[in-house]
């Protein structure tokens, strides 16, 4: 039952905001661990009662996500760089150079690749189309970070962070091209689900076999990647259910247990069926993207005279002398960069697990499709959140931080409906993420344990258990484990991408040569007709 908007509006808005703040502290406040633990357990628990395993996970977490380097800037500020940023940002720059500015140069080809034919010019049973793999990868890319992450970036770095988020997306799309193309080049037939499977575990395995000069059942780095992925996705399962259950409780006063039970039942019906996951995502992902984009377009049209000022503010604060002088340029730059990197997942090795499942005419086509996925996540969806915030009058948002900023903006644009809208869109973003990661897990489970339905079902049941637990109880250790998992995935994947990128670049050149020949042949045919 919906609360009365006149009498209960302030109550459920405050409650919902409290949840978002809690979520933000857990997932986005990565550099303040003391506050996180004190928030949930109290300060005493921070100093005692930790097991060796928990301490080990926290140490690995700090190694991956803590700031390694501080670069001083004019005005007294600094750039704090974590290991993941040190790995991902240069990779994006290198691959953008190697592909000769692919994100800009071949953007029309990204669109065309969505409708590309398969190898045989006809559908292969159980294989995915290019569009379907894009939908699956978009389901996992588009999540809570597209709301809370963008809010955090703008709160800490101002409007200028949006510009650097866009730049990072351009770089990330090149990385996405490399890993998706490699996934296509090294994919295998899937005897369980039909069609194809693959991803980093498979192209890492093939690379190590080639280097060692002999066939192997498993290779160490590929095994470590697959295990890291399964750990990460289990942790994300808990985050998903917690975000859905808490948002519905605070927006609609539905008990978290009831929401969790329904969520688990619906998820089980989908993921325990052979090929239902992709069919559901084919429906859910376009709907959620269109709804969110449509609301943003409505807001833009109703605030059309303000659009030039918003873009002027973004570019001014991105390079603003005031920010540099005040020591705030580092915050502007790094908050935008972090949001771009963490949102689009390029380099983490997740999306290639979906990219490998497609039956494409050329591997480079799938690389172009996944490069487009980065644009959709960051340039479109993340920018929607930014526009919703920045189009609100500055006199209403000045001095606000965190989700206070988004909530105030949503109230300005949509009134009481804004709270309901955010709760529903959170559900769609989060639930689609869960379905997407279960699809990713298929190939990694097969790599580790072989082609056995028992292992596939066991992991799905484990994910459903985590989904249930996350909805009724918060365990920050598990959430940390998820972050550790994706960090390790990135490390194992990114170094192999450097080593194997030549294969993807070669495929890109072949694709462009074939395209050039096709254009020349069509031109010649037209001349002959004349």
What is the C-alpha separation between 264 and 465, in angstroms, rounded?
A: 8
User: For residue 423, how far is the Cα from the chain centroid?
Assistant: 19
Using the 8-state DSSP alphabet, how is residue 355 labeled?
A: H
Domain range spanning residue 151?
Answer: 66-529
Residue 467: C-alpha distances to residues 16, 55, 160, 235, 431 (Å): 21, 24, 37, 9, 10
Whether the Cβ atoms of residue 272 and residue 457 lie closer than 8 Å to each other: yes
Unique residue bearing structure tokens 């001095």: 399
Residues 6+ apart with CB under 8 A from 451: 191, 192
Q: End-to-end alpha-carbon separation of the chain, Å? A: 70
Domain assignment of residue 130, yes or no: yes
**Would residue 293 count as lying in a domain?**
yes
Q: How far apart are CA 495 and CA 40, in angstroms?
A: 36
Q: Per the domain annotation, does 25 fall within a domain?
A: no
Q: How far apart are CA 11 and CA 34, in angstroms?
A: 29
- Predicted local distance difference test score (pLDDT) of residue 325: 46
CB 217 within 8 A of CB 400: no
Tokens of 324: 């540099």
pTM as predicted? 0.82
How buried is residue 4: exposed, middle or buried, by Cβ count under 10 Å (0-12/13-18/19+)? exposed
Examine residue 408 and state whether it is found in any structural domain, yes or no.
yes
Number of compact structural domains in the chain = 1
**Strand (E) or helix (H) holding 191:** none
Question: Is residue 468 a part of any domain in this protein?
Answer: yes
| 8 A C-beta contact, residue 277 and residue 456 | no
N residues, the chain: 530
Residue 49's SS3 state is: coil
In a domain, 261, yes or no: yes
What local confidence, expressed as pLDDT, does residue 448 receive?
95
Distance CA(389)–CA(408), nearest Å, equals: 8
530 residues of the chain, pLDDT tens digit each:
433 334 333 333 444 444 444 444 434 443 443 333 333 334 444 444 457 777 788 788 888 878 788 777 655 666 777 888 888 889 999 999 999 999 999 999 998 888 765 555 444 555 678 888 888 888 777 766 677 677 777 776 778 888 888 888 888 899 999 999 999 999 999 998 888 999 999 999 999 999 988 888 899 999 999 999 998 888 888 878 887 887 777 677 888 888 889 999 999 999 888 878 888 888 888 888 888 888 889 999 988 888 888 888 888 887 765 554 444 555 566 666 766 666 677 888 888 998 998 888 889 999 999 999 888 888 888 888 888 888 888 777 777 665 566 777 888 888 878 777 877 887 888 888 888 888 899 999 999 999 999 999 999 999 999 888 888 876 666 667 777 888 899 999 999 999 999 999 999 999 999 888 887 777 777 776 66
pLDDT of residue 16: 43
Give helix then strand counts, H and E, for the chain.
25, 4
Q: CATH code at 238?
A: 1.20.1740
Q: Is residue 2, in this structure, part of any structural domain at all?
A: no
Q: Where are the extended beta strands (E) located within 149-278?
A: 188-189, 196-197
Secondary structure class of 188 (helix, strand, coil)? strand
- Strand (E) positions, 39-148? 67-72, 78-82
SS3 358: strand
Residue 219 falls inside a structural domain: yes
């Amino acid at each position: 039952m919906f609360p009365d908007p006149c009498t209960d509006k302030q109550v459920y808005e405050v409650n919902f905001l409290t949840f978002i703040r809690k979520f933000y502290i857990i997932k986005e406040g990565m550099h303040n661990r003391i506050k996180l633990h004190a928030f949930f357990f109290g300060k005493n628990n921070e100093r005692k009662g930790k097991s060796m395993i928990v301490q080990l996970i926290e140490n690995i977490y700090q190694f991956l996500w803590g700031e390694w380097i501080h670069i001083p800037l004019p005005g007294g500020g600094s750039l704090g760089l974590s290991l993941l940023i040190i790995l991902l940002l240069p990779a994006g720059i290198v691959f953008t150079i190697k592909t000769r500015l692919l994100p800009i140069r071949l953007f029309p080809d990204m669109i065309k690749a969505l409708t590309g034919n398969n190898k045989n010019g006809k559908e292969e049973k159980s294989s995915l189309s290019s569009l379907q793999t894009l939908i699956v990868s978009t389901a996992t890319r588009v999540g809570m970070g597209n709301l809370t992450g963008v809010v955090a970036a703008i709160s800490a770095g101002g409007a200028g962070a949006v510009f650097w988020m866009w730049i990072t997306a351009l770089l990330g799309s090149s990385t996405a091209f490399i890993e998706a193309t490699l996934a296509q080049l090294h994919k295998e037939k899937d005897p369980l689900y039909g069609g194809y499977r693959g991803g980093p575990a498979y192209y890492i395995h093939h690379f190590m076999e080639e280097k060692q000069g002999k066939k192997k059942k498993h290779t160490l780095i590929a095994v470590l990647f697959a295990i890291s992925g399964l750990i990460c996705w289990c942790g994300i399962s808990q985050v998903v259910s917690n975000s859905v259950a808490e948002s519905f409780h605070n927006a609609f006063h539905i008990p978290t247990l009831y929401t969790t039970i329904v969520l688990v039942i619906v998820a089980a019906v989908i993921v325990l069926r052979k090929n239902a996951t992709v069919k559901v995502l084919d429906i859910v992902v376009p709907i959620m993207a269109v709804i969110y984009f449509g609301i943003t377009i409505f807001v833009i049209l109703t605030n059309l005279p303000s659009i030039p000022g918003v873009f002027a503010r973004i570019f001014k604060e991105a390079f603003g002398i005031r920010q540099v002088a005040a020591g705030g340029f580092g915050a502007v730059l790094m908050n935008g960069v972090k949001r771009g990197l963490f949102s689009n997942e390029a380099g983490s090795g997740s999306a290639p697990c979906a990219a490998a499942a497609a039956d494409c005419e050329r591997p480079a086509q799938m690389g172009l499709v996944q490069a487009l996925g980065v644009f959709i996540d960051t340039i479109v969806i993340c920018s929607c959140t930014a526009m919703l915030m920045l189009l609100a009058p500055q006199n209403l948002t000045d001095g606000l931080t965190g989700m206070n900023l988004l909530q105030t903006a949503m109230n300005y644009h949509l009134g009481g409906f804004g709270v309901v809208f955010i709760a529903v869109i959170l559900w769609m973003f989060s639930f689609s993420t869960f379905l997407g990661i279960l699809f990713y897990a298929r190939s990694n489970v097969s790599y580790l344990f072989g082609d056995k339905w028992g292992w596939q079902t066991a992991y799905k049941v484990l994910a459903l258990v985590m989904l249930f637990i996350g909805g009724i109880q918060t365990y920050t250790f598990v959430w940390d484990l998820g972050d550790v998992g994706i960090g390790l995935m990135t490390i194992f994947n990114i170094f192999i991408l450097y080593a194997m990128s030549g294969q993807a670049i070669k495929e890109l050149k072949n694709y462009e040569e074939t395209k050039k020949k096709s254009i020349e042949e069509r031109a010649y045919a037209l001349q002959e007709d004349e």
